[in-house]
A = this chain, B = another copy of it.
Amino acid sequence: MRTLRPSVAALLLATITACPCVVHASGTASQESLQPLLNVGDKKLQFDWPMLRIGTGEYAEGPTGVTVFRFGRKVMGAVDVRGGGPGTVNTDFLRLGYNYPDLDTVVFSGGSWYGLEATTAAATALKDDGERGGHWDNVALSVGAIIYDFGDRRLNEIYPDKKLAQAALRAAQPGVFPLGAQGAGRSARSGQFFGCNAHSGQGGAFRQVGPVKIAAFTVVNAFGVVTDRNGHVVACNPGEGWPKPLRPTDLLAGMPDSRKPGWQPSKEAGKNTTVSLVVVNQTLEPALLQRIAVQVHTAMARGIQPFATEYDGDVLYAVSTGELDEKDPGALTSVDLGVIASEVMWDAILSSVPEQPRALQPNKRFKVAAADLAKYQGEYRFSELVSVRISEQAGKLVAQATGARDAFAIKKPAPVELLPVAQGEFMVPGRYPLNLRFADDRLTLNPGHWQQIGAKAAQ
């Protein structure tokens, strides 16, 4: 478990610079005004497989995004839908199990059901670009699934749309997959079942066994916690007095007695989804490709605990590019293929976890100037749903949410004190500590990779 220890702004800056872009205050953003960021991210999986191209697109203002998998030719696909709240496109065709390749793209997206626009947009882009057409054996088939990245994950409801998905598709490149809170996993979370509310993301892994290529990708937006092969939680905002190391098996095995204070999902935490993709280059008859889908999806219950709950909408696609015949030397049995792919998927799950942000530390000796206090005051709008009023009370700065919803640790019922850290920087302590930065009439919550920017309303 990566604990959330004190830190310096340097790290945050480092993360920020990874995104060389002007980020607008989300409160002023309409879907039309948003600009795609393509294939960004510092940490990347690299692998050699020209048949598979990947593109990610993000709207920093969400943040939210899309991840597009695009194959160099039509491929065979299968699907296993297991979650309690899936959002899907074209799974019914895959289920028919025809023994010929028909699939062009697999698209994962944030934005809950709205994000399915990304999947359909991938198909129409192939059509508009003339890569696919209307002849019956040349119609583009795009399948996809979405994650729920609204709720208390962010302060707006921007979603990945047609523009973003088509840009990502067109930017797709072979051999590179951004890891962590990128693409469809841009605002993913994990561990809400335990109240962990850790930042999560998308993971990928690749293994080559002789001529056999196996890749696994997953967007881990799970109700459960990511668990490593030693049985330890990988990312969590732990409650007070929680055991270290934190082992899901200990907590779960003792349910409900093992339930700790703070270990109760909030009502807002009710929607999650982990969406995944396994790709192999070996041919498999449809029933065995389907078997891979079922087996790998089931095996994910080791790396995410609990898994496949009512509050997860888990979907897994399995694809065979058919580059290697199952009778070729070096081809694997379908059982071995399923077992190895399950492990590659666990690797992918582990690689999805981003570096968690560190809470700023309050500096009791730092004295905020009165002029600054006055300057920071005002109403900051993050979206049509969320606004925050900053005001000065007895020389201290307090914040209160004034819109329809809370703003993280800044709640609607009562103001909370902002503890000074440095010039223009404040924080609110707690299990989910909040960092704040004032600059240029903008208030940035959690400056860095997951920042939310509010613009001061004209008075």
Contact = CB atoms under 8 A, between A and B. Distances in A.
Contact of A309 (B98, B252, B268, B335): B335
Contacts of A35: none
B271 A295 contact: no
Interface stretch (A19-27, A138-146, A428-436): A138-146
B287 A96 contact: yes
Interface string A77-98: 0000110111111111100111
Q: Which of A84, A231, A346 has the most CB of B within 10 A?
A: A84
Chain A interface residue bracket vs B: 35 or more
B306 A98 contact: no
A82 B285 contact: no
Contacts of A82: 294, 298
Contact of A113 (B81, B117, B141, B346): B141
A253 interface: yes
Q: How many copies of this chain are found per oligomer?
A: 4
A356 to B, nearest CB: 24
A78 to B, nearest CB: 11
Contacts of A342: 252, 306
A12 interface: no
Interface string A208-240: 010000000000000100000111000000000
Interface string A291-320: 100110111111001111111010100000
A393 interface: no
8 contacts: A81-B92, A92-B315, A96-B290, A98-B287, A112-B139, A127-B157, A301-B301, A309-B339
Given A88-B91, A91-B92, A116-B120, 10 more contacts: A92-B315, A98-B287, A117-B121, A120-B120, A120-B121, A124-B159, A124-B161, A127-B159, A297-B298, A309-B339
Interface of A: 31, 81-82, 84-93, 96-99, 112-114, 116-117, 119-121, 123-124, 127-128, 130, 133-136, 139-142, 148, 150-151, 157, 159, 161-162, 193, 209, 223, 229-231, 249-250, 252-253, 255-256, 265, 268, 270-271, 285-288, 290-291, 294-295, 297-302, 305-311, 313, 315, 332, 334-336, 338-340, 342-343, 346-347, 384-385
